[in-house]
Amino acid sequence: MQGSSALDKYDLKKAHKALKMLLIDRSNEFRVFAHGIEYPTNTENWEVIILNFSLDFVECFNAMSGENQLDHNQIHKCMTLMRQIARGKSNMTEMTHLENTAYLIAEDFKSIYKRME
């Protein structure tokens, strides 16, 4: 994958184990989110892509809601993620549901990962 990945901040082995544990309880949320952004669930490692997207989205939210200035690349990345979530939605409720799902996936992953330390 080109560019930086949100998962680069985590130990690969522990992250993979945390993802497996997360999928036990949250596999439905992964599918709902993948369907919502029109990402195929029949590809290899699609769950990693969804987790990475969710982590990136939460990182963007935190950056945009903070007081620090964002550089051009961060703004572009965040707007691209927002556009992907909004694509094909007919109202804000649908978009908000997907944003909340991404947040839930990312925060649950971070919580599981942290408990493994």
* 3-state helix/strand/coil string of the chain: CCCCCHHHHCCHHHHHHHHHHHHHHHHHHHHHHHHHCCCCCCCCCHHHHHHHHHHHHHHHHHHHHCCCCCCHHHHHHHHHHHHHHHCCCCCHHHHHHHHHHHHHHHHHHHHHHHHCC
Q: pLDDT digits over 52-105, tens only?
A: 999 999 999 988 888 777 888 888 999 999 999 999 999 999 999 999 999 999
Mean predicted lDDT score pLDDT of the chain: 92
- Yes or no: say if 111 and 60 are a contact pair by the CB < 8 Å rule: no
Of all residues in the chain, the percent with pLDDT exceeding 70 is 97
Give the C-alpha distances (Å, rounded to integers) separating 35 from 46, 87, 112, 113.
11, 12, 24, 25
Q: pLDDT digits over 62-77, tens only?
A: 888 887 778 888 889 9
**Domain coordinates in residue numbering, the chain:** 11-115
- Yes or no: say if 102 and 57 are a contact pair by the CB < 8 Å rule: yes
Instruction: Reply yes or no on whether the pLDDT at 3 is more than 90.
Output: no
When pLDDT is averaged across residues 35-42 and rounded to a whole number, the result is: 96
- Cα(3)–Cα(61) distance, integer angstroms: 19
Residue with structure tokens 């990345």?
A: 77
pTM for this entry:
0.91
